[in-house]
Amino acid sequence: MFKLKATLAAAAALCLFSSGSVFAEEKVEVLHWWTSGGEAAALNVLKKDLESQGVTWNDMPVAGGSGVQAMTVLRARVTAGNAPTAVQMLGFDILDWSGEGVLADLNKVAEEENWDAVIPDAIKRFAKPEGVWIAAPVNVHSTNWVWANKAIFDELNLKQPATWDELITSLDKIKAAGYIAMAHGGQAWQDGTVFDSVVLATGGPEFYQKAMNELDEAALGSDTMKTVFDRMAQLRGYVDDNFSGRDWNLATAMVINKEAGVQFMGDWAKGEFLSASKKPGEDFLCFRFPDSQGAVLFNSDQFVMFAVGEEQRPAQEKLAMSVMSPAFQQAFNKVKGSVMARTDVDASVLDACGQQGQVDLAEANKSNKLFGSMAHGHGAPSGIKSAVFDVVTAHFNGEYDSAAAVEELAAAVQAAK
């Protein structure tokens, strides 16, 4: 009888232990759109780190580089009361969600790990709206880059242009030599990416901030903005006849394959060069858009944390800490082509372009010349971005002259506010 009671007691204890173990199981579900080989490999570093801490990773990839599909899936999940633990998100999408009362508060972790000291204020605007940390920044992409075929530059004895006039001289020489001067894809966001850099280069940092971030009516309707559109029309003369609808990576391939001299694109273009076994400084050149040196236009991927219940908080906090760890920041950004969101991480693991990008980020942060890119969701809400795109693309395709484009831009932004 005693033996039976002991056996029953042991069984009950085992059941209780097992039940507690199930309840205490730590897991995270992560919604993202990083589905390429390199991005998946970088995320695997994060997954392995969490698994070493006893946290199970449930992957929820949603294909689509812009994240539009992922945001559609997210909305359905939250509406159904089944939010993921964390979601990859950008810019004003984060601010939109921050006001809905469904996000987690990471202030305790952020304070313990001193995030305020290592994350630039321009990025904290999205990660810490209204004084509450709701996201862990993964990286910083910057958009005001030029990517050039070094063999063409060497053949034509060209130096990296530092000013607008030097850029036009270089493009003229490349075109005269029989190459496509400017590799470009005729898609609204690509037109907008070039426009971003031309606004910064033409008007300077203060003008860019007023026009593209503050949406100042005087700046939008100014003579300086007319010069921006004049320059966009000038660049239109350097693209090939087949540019319409071309994807950005195919334009990058034109530079890689020595069909075109330069491309104006964000630093994700570097991944295409590296995938083609090309080396910076040997096969291709990377430098800031002429006359924009010292300033950085950025977009930043962040993992936004949703309120998923106290029982899941420990795993969620471990995820946030892992994302912000120097080791993950290095491993991920080495592959992604971006730079670390933290300003205190050793950048020597990055290639030459990445190291320069990290230096540029730190300097722009110190000098208050780090600006959210309009074209990439960090300059203004999506409705305004779309309105700007419509005008820029119409002008680039010859529907407006520059004077009309200035009037249309000011009117479109005002209507979208």
Give the Cα separation of 387 and 385 in Å (integer). Answer: 5
Between the alpha carbon of residue 337 and those of residues 88, 168, 184, 190, 222, the distances in Å are 17, 27, 20, 18, 36
Angle, to 10 degrees, between the axis of helix 223-236 and the axis of helix 188-208? 140
Close Cβ partners of 223 (under 8 Å, ≥ 6 residues apart): none
Q: What is the DSSP letter of 289?
A: P
pLDDT at 332: 87
Q: Which helix (H) or strand (E) holds 268?
A: none
pLDDT at 18: 39
Neighbours of 278 (CB within 10 A): 16
Beta carbons of 142 and 267 less than 8 angstroms apart: yes
DSSP 157-192: TPPPP-SHHHHHHHHHHHHHTTSEEEE--B-HHHHH
pLDDT at 65: 65
pLDDT at 4: 40
pLDDT at 21: 41
What are the backbone dihedrals phi and psi of residue 276, each rounded to the nearest 5 degrees, phi first? -90, 15
Give the Cα separation of 245 and 228 in Å (integer). Answer: 23
Between the alpha carbon of residue 85 and those of residues 77, 241, 297, 354, the distances in Å are 11, 47, 30, 30
Give the Cα separation of 35 and 393 in Å (integer). Answer: 29
CA 182 to chain centre: 23
Beta carbons of 173 and 370 less than 8 angstroms apart: no
Q: What are the tokens at 185?
A: 């894809």
Q: Give per-residue burial for 380-406: e unless 16+ CB within 10 Å, then b.
A: bbeebbebbbbbbbbbbeeebebeebb
Beta carbons of 337 and 270 less than 8 angstroms apart: yes
Domains and CATH numbers, the chain: 27-141+299-361 (3.40.190.10), 142-298+369-416 (3.40.190.10)
What pTM did the predictor assign?
Answer: 0.87
Per-residue pLDDT of the chain (417 residues; tens, 9 = 90+): 434 444 444 444 444 333 344 445 899 999 999 887 778 888 888 999 999 999 999 999 998 766 888 999 999 999 999 999 999 999 999 999 998 999 999 999 999 999 999 999 999 999 999 999 999 999 999 999 999 999 999 999 999 999 999 999 999 999 999 999 999 999 999 999 999 999 999 999 999 999 999 999 999 999 999 999 999 999 999 999 999 999 999 999 999 999 999 999 999 999 889 889 999 999 999 999 999 999 999 999 999 999 998 999 999 999 999 999 999 999 889 888 899 999 999 999 999 999 999 999 999 999 999 999 999 999 999 899 999 999 999 999 999 999 999 999 999 999 999
Q: Tell me whether strands 139-142 and 180-183 are parallel, antiparallel or unpaired.
A: unpaired
